[in-house]
């Protein structure tokens, strides 16, 4: 008979660490509307694809943005992601690399970031947000310093503009200063923009993340292992069927009848 003992390691005296509390600063540009005014109602997609504005935010509300999405989504072929004019089409995908997995990103890549993404607050994200960079340190994986939520990732030039913005909830139109990728911005090896769809505000017309999985709108990339550079893109092996090793599906809600409760399934299937 083998006896297994659990040996408790000897711990050194812990060093004093001062208590650190982070609170959201007053945004340099106040939110266009308060999150509490959002009408959280069940949303269903319209029959015909429509480009419309959707609001998104971090948990504490310091980061606020408007993104223009075309829904219902028309998933592009992984190997043909451009339209007849050569412009990149809207893409929704999950990547199984450690960066995307550990930061919880559900990528939405926009056809024209200067026209499709407006940051309402803060107006100087590279200074006012946390900025995580890894590997080649090119992409800014920005996050709210108060609540830790990552709304978007960015690489390239940007600018401040005054734009007429229509509030997606109230319908009111007003001119305000916004941050956005610089006009003329074209995606390439030095320019990158991805919005984290998990930070979209719930209850907006035509927006139902469950639908994204159920209708297989989410593309899955295999970027966990570094592959030999043969000129192929990670999109060349992408699929809409299921995640690659190390990846996960979009979160969904399941009914656990044996427990008599509704629970959130983290989607790690």
pLDDT 10s digits, 217-242: 999 988 877 655 554 567 778 888 88
Identify the pLDDT of residue 23.
52
What whole-number distance in Å separates Cα of residue 8 and Cα of residue 95? 39
Q: Per-residue pLDDT averaged across 41-57, rounded? A: 77
What whole-number distance in Å separates Cα of residue 99 and Cα of residue 135? 10
pTM of the model: 0.73
What whole-number distance in Å separates Cα of residue 217 and Cα of residue 70? 12
The percent of residues above 70 in pLDDT, for the chain, comes to: 69
The percent of residues above 90 in pLDDT, for the chain, comes to: 46
Maximum mean pLDDT: which of 2-11, 180-189, 240-249: 180-189
Quick: pLDDT tens for 147-195: 999 999 999 999 999 999 876 556 788 999 999 999 988 877 788 999 9
Identify the pLDDT of residue 80.
80
More confident residue, 56 or 43: 56
Question: Tell me, what DSSP letter sits at residue 170?
Answer: T
Pick the CATH number of 35-265 from 3.40.50.720, 3.40.50.2300, 2.40.50.1020, 2.170.150.70: 2.170.150.70
Partners of 176 in beta bridges: 163
Identify the pLDDT of residue 103.
87
Least confident of 2-6, 140-144, 150-154, 258-262: 258-262
Collect all residues with Cβ–Cβ distance below 8 Å to 170 and sequence separation of at least 6: 33, 37
Partners of 82 in beta bridges: 88
Q: Per-residue pLDDT averaged across 81-89, rounded? A: 80
Q: Per-residue pLDDT averaged across 118-146, rounded? A: 95
Identify the pLDDT of residue 7.
42
For residues 27 and 62, the answer to whether their CB atoms sit within 8 Å is yes
Identify the pLDDT of residue 148.
96
More confident residue, 185 or 30: 185
Domain ranges of the chain: 35-265
Tokens of 106: 């559900």
Q: What is the CA radius of gyration of the chain?
A: 21
What whole-number distance in Å separates Cα of residue 131 and Cα of residue 141? 6
What whole-number distance in Å separates Cα of residue 105 and Cα of residue 199? 9
More confident residue, 170 or 42: 170
Could you tell me how many residues make up the chain? 269
Question: Tell me, what DSSP letter sits at residue 237?
Answer: G
């Amino acid at each position: 008979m083998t006896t297994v003992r659990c040996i408790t390691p000897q711990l050194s005296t812990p060093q004093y660490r001062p208590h650190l509390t982070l609170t959201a600063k007053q945004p340099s540009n106040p939110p266009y509307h308060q999150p509490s005014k959002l009408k959280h109602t069940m949303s269903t997609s319209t029959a015909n694809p429509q480009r419309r504005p959707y609001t998104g935010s971090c948990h504490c509300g310091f980061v606020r943005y408007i993104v223009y999405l075309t829904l219902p989504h028309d998933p592009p072929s992984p190997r043909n992601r451009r339209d007849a004019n050569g412009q990149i089409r809207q893409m929704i995908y999950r990547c199984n690399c450690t960066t995307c997995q550990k930061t919880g990103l559900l990528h939405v890549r926009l056809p024209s970031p200067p026209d499709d993404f407006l940051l309402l607050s803060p107006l100087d994200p590279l200074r006012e947000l946390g900025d995580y960079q890894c590997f080649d340190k090119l992409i800014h994986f920005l996050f709210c310093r108060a609540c830790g939520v990552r709304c978007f990732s960015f690489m390239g030039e940007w600018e401040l503009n005054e734009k007429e913005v229509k509030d997606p909830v109230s319908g009111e139109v007003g001119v305000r200063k916004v941050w956005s990728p610089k006009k003329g911005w074209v995606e390439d090896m030095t320019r990158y923009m991805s919005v984290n769809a998990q930070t979209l505000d719930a209850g907006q017309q035509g927006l139902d993340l469950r639908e994204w999985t159920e209708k297989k709108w989410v593309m899955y990339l295999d970027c966990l292992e570094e592959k030999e550079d043969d000129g192929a893109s990670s999109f060349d092996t992408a699929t809409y069927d299921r995640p690659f090793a190390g990846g996960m599906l979009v979160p969904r809600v399941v009914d656990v009848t044996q427990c008599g409760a509704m629970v959130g399934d983290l989607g790690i299937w």
